[in-house]
Amino acid sequence: MKKIPSVAIVGAGLAGSEAAWQLAERGHAVRLFEMRPVRMTAAHKTGECAELVCSNSFKSRSVENAHGLLKAEMALHKSLILKTGERFSVPAGQALAIDREPFAESIGVQLKAHPKITFCNEEVIDVSELINSHSHVIFATGPLTSDALAASLQDILGAQYLSFYDAIAPVITAESIDMDIAFRASRYGKGEADYFNCPMHHEQYQTFITAVQEAEKVELHQFEDIRPFEGCLPIEVMVERGPDTLRFGPMKPVGLEHPETGERFHAVVQLRQENSVGSLYNLVGFQTKMTWTAQKEVFAMIPGLANAEFVRLGSVHRNTFINGPALLNPQLNLKSHPNVFFAGQITGVEGYMESTAMGILAARQIAASLENRLESPPSPDTMMGALIRYITETDPTIFQPMNSNLGLLDPPEKKMNKADRKKWYAERALHKAAEYANQV
Ligand SMILES: Cc1cc2nc3c(=O)[nH]c(=O)nc-3n(C[C@H](O)[C@H](O)[C@H](O)COP(=O)(O)OP(=O)(O)OC[C@H]3O[C@@H](n4cnc5c(N)ncnc54)[C@H](O)[C@@H]3O)c2cc1C
């Protein structure tokens, strides 16, 4: 098949729209495929590009907040989504909130008017055909990638590397765990003592179970059916099955005696290292549909977590995403097919801005390839680079999506108070992000 000398981008959501703009602005021809309104997803309501499917917030603007820092880095790349978001912002205190309809309409108008962008209103269903006919391809089809395309992606990726639901356990900072209560041990003392264990006595467990039963839960969307997902049930569903279900599941205490006192416990919550630098830990098996407020209250009852700092709360969503650590290079292309890139939420990042940022990075890499240059990914000291490190270097056997948070960054060597540390993260990140953005 003859190759068309242009880049194909599938999905004109946040990531695909951004990637198309970035490439086109550098003078590269792009074909942008979008299936809506011909075929809708279960969450989108319009045929517009870059529709915001739920909240209208792009979150904090403060660079001392992870979301604000990410936006400041994206601004260095003249992000279309961010610029247009600013144009259609509505008052929301420290946050950047968007008037979604004129925003989405404007993104479509700008893309369709660009001389380097050809807009193709069709559903892509055959991955191989697209790869064989274009120099580079970006899949940016998001959490609700169409069924036909997902099936075709499975053929080239391997079915086990494409997930349709996430099951996110809460993540806390290591330094916020009370080490006087939590103890390091692995079950039956096998292998390294990699886990922190938060022990519960009988009464503490019963109080905890009652709190889970009474906690407010988030309603499932109509299109979300978690029944097939038996291996990763939310904890409240396990509790509904009986008060001891958690004790025989993720809170199983057997083989987890206290290493110094030999004490046995009624139940144990295990904390597993989340990132390679060891600054984050997740509550193993604690995916949940409890509301965020309820999670903070209920999980603070766990011994050792009274002052836990949550960088991510638990959830279970309909979400199509690939196993980045198994499949992707840090350039966001497939190890098996170097001209095939992924961007957006399908890479395993989570959130509007995180998805858009992956569109910027995939586009930069393709531009470098078309211009016969080599470009390294951004430093992991930047928020964009830290996300890339997370989606490509996490243990692939436990990989779940992640949003931006300061816990993804390597901490400073010298001790600092929280406020100084946030400033330090922002200064270091923005300095390196500027160097990266100004390479060409
Ligand atoms: C119900 C729901 C609520 C959410 N709420 C929030 C929230 O409040 N805040 C937040 O930050 N994030 C939220 N998210 C996550 C949000 O979807 C992402 O952050 C963001 O939209 C992802 O951007 P994206 O470009 O990767 O995907 P999308 O914006 O979804 O874009 C993907 C595009 O690909 C198109 N497409 C799919 N398959 C094909 C195909 N075969 N051929 C052609 N086109 C195709 C789709 O129509 C869509 O336009 C939510 C997600 C869902 C599902």
What is the domain extent for residue 48?
Answer: 4-164+320-437
Res. 17 pLDDT band, cuts 50 70 90: very high
CA 343 to ligand 1: nearest atom? 26
Locate all alpha helices (DSSP H) within 92-231, ordered by sequence: 100-113, 127-133, 147-157, 202-214
- Boundary (domain end) residue, out of 261, 282, 313: 313
Instruction: Tell me which of 22, 353, 355 to substitute to probe ligand 1's pocket, judged by most ligand atoms within 8 Å of the beta carbon.
Output: 355
Res. 405 pLDDT band, cuts 50 70 90: very high
Q: pLDDT at position 107, please? A: 98
CB 404 within 8 A of CB 275: no
The one-letter amino acid code at 267 reads: A
Ligand 1: lining residues by beta carbon, under 6 Å: 10-16, 33-36, 41, 43-44, 53-55, 123-124, 140-146, 149, 221, 344-346, 351-352, 355
Whether 138 and 285 share a structural domain: no
Q: pLDDT at position 340, please? A: 98
Q: What is the CATH number of the domain that holds 103?
A: 3.50.50.60
Q: Kindly report, residue by residue over 201-243, the tens digit of the pLDDT.
A: 999 999 999 999 999 999 877 667 655 456 678 999 999 999 9
Looking at the chain, the whole-number percentage of residues with pLDDT higher than 90 is 87
Whether 254 and 346 share a structural domain: no
Q: Give the whole-angstrom CA distance, residue 258 versus residue 421.
A: 34
Q: What is the distance in A from the centroid of ligand 1 to the CA of 386? A: 22
Whether 178 and 290 share a structural domain: yes
Please, what's the b/e burial string for 8-36 (b: 16 or more CB within 10 A of its CB; e: otherwise)? bbbbbbbbbbbbbbbbbbbebbbbbbbbb
- Give the mean pLDDT of 100-104: 96
Q: What is the distance in A from the centroid of ligand 1 to the CA of 143? A: 5
Res. 255 pLDDT band, cuts 50 70 90: very high
Res. 252 pLDDT band, cuts 50 70 90: very high
Token pair of 400 as six digits? 């779940």
Question: By alpha-carbon position, which residue is closest to atom 1 of ligand 1?
Answer: 43
Q: Give the whole-angstrom CA distance, residue 347 versus residue 388.
A: 9
The one-letter amino acid code at 155 reads: D
Question: By alpha-carbon position, which residue is closest to atom 31 of ligand 1?
Answer: 13
CB neighbours of residue 331 within 10 Å: 21
Strand-pairing partners, residue 333, are 341
Q: What is the distance in A from the centroid of ligand 1 to the CA of 307? A: 34
Q: pLDDT at position 228, please? A: 44
Res. 317 pLDDT band, cuts 50 70 90: confident
For all residues of the chain together, what is the average pLDDT?
Answer: 94
- Taking the whole predicted model, whether its pTM rises above 0.85 is answered as yes
Whether 375 and 254 share a structural domain: no
Q: pLDDT at position 2, please? A: 64
Residue scoring higher pLDDT (191 or 353): 353
Q: What is the distance in A from the centroid of ligand 1 to the CA of 11? A: 9
In this predicted structure, the answer to whether residue 380 has a pLDDT above a threshold of 50 is yes
Q: pLDDT at position 250, please? A: 94
Q: What is the distance in A from the centroid of ligand 1 to the CA of 399? A: 20
Whether 260 and 160 share a structural domain: no
Per-residue DSSP letters for 30-91? EEEE--TTTS--SS--SS-TT---S--EEEE--TTSHHHHHHHHHHTTT-HHHHHHHHTEE-
Whether 221 and 158 share a structural domain: no
Q: pLDDT at position 302, please? A: 98
Q: Give the whole-angstrom CA distance, residue 386 versus residue 403.
A: 10
Instruction: Tell me which of 35, 125, 361 to substitute to probe ligand 1's pocket, judged by most ligand atoms within 8 Å of the beta carbon.
Output: 35
Three-state DSSP state, 139: strand
Is residue 76 classed exposed, middle or buried when 0-12, 13-18 and 19+ CB atoms within 10 A define those classes?
Answer: middle
CA 344 to ligand 1: nearest atom? 26
Q: Give the whole-angstrom CA distance, residue 246 versus residue 285.
A: 9
Whether 187 and 226 share a structural domain: yes
- Boundary (domain end) residue, out of 313, 347, 376: 313
Question: By alpha-carbon position, which residue is closest to atom 42 of ligand 1?
Answer: 123
Q: Give the whole-angstrom CA distance, residue 266 versus residue 247.
A: 8
Whether 175 and 296 share a structural domain: yes
Q: pLDDT at position 93, please? A: 84
Q: pLDDT at position 225, please? A: 63
Whether 245 and 288 share a structural domain: yes
Give me the phi and psi of 240, to 5 degrees please. Answer: -60, -30
- How many domains does the chain divide into? 2
- Give the mean pLDDT of 174-178: 95
CB 253 within 8 A of CB 266: yes
Q: pLDDT at position 190, please? A: 77
Query: How do the residues of the chain divide into helix, strand and coil, expressed in percent and rounded to 5?
Result: 40, 20, 45
Is residue 301 classed exposed, middle or buried when 0-12, 13-18 and 19+ CB atoms within 10 A define those classes?
Answer: middle
Whether 208 and 347 share a structural domain: no
Q: pLDDT at position 86, please? A: 97
Q: Give the whole-angstrom CA distance, residue 49 versus residue 112.
A: 10
Q: pLDDT at position 136, please? A: 98
Q: pLDDT at position 230, please? A: 60
Q: Kindly report, residue by residue over 116-144, the tens digit of the pLDDT.
A: 999 999 999 999 999 999 999 999 999 99
- Give the mean pLDDT of 98-105: 96
- Boundary (domain end) residue, out of 313, 332, 357: 313
- Give the mean pLDDT of 67-85: 98
Whether 108 and 250 share a structural domain: no
CB neighbours of residue 427 within 10 Å: 12
Secondary element (H or E) of residue 296: helix 292-299
Q: Give the whole-angstrom CA distance, residue 417 versus residue 119.
A: 50
Whether 28 and 114 share a structural domain: yes
Q: What is the distance in A from the centroid of ligand 1 to the CA of 346? A: 9
Q: Give the whole-angstrom CA distance, residue 281 versus residue 272.
A: 5
Q: pLDDT at position 229, please? A: 55
Q: CB-based contacts of 93: which residues, under 8 Å, 6+ apart? A: none
Q: What is the CATH number of the domain that holds 308?
A: 2.40.30.260
CB 291 within 8 A of CB 215: yes
Question: By alpha-carbon position, which residue is closest to atom 11 of ligand 1?
Answer: 351
Is residue 278 classed exposed, middle or buried when 0-12, 13-18 and 19+ CB atoms within 10 A define those classes?
Answer: exposed
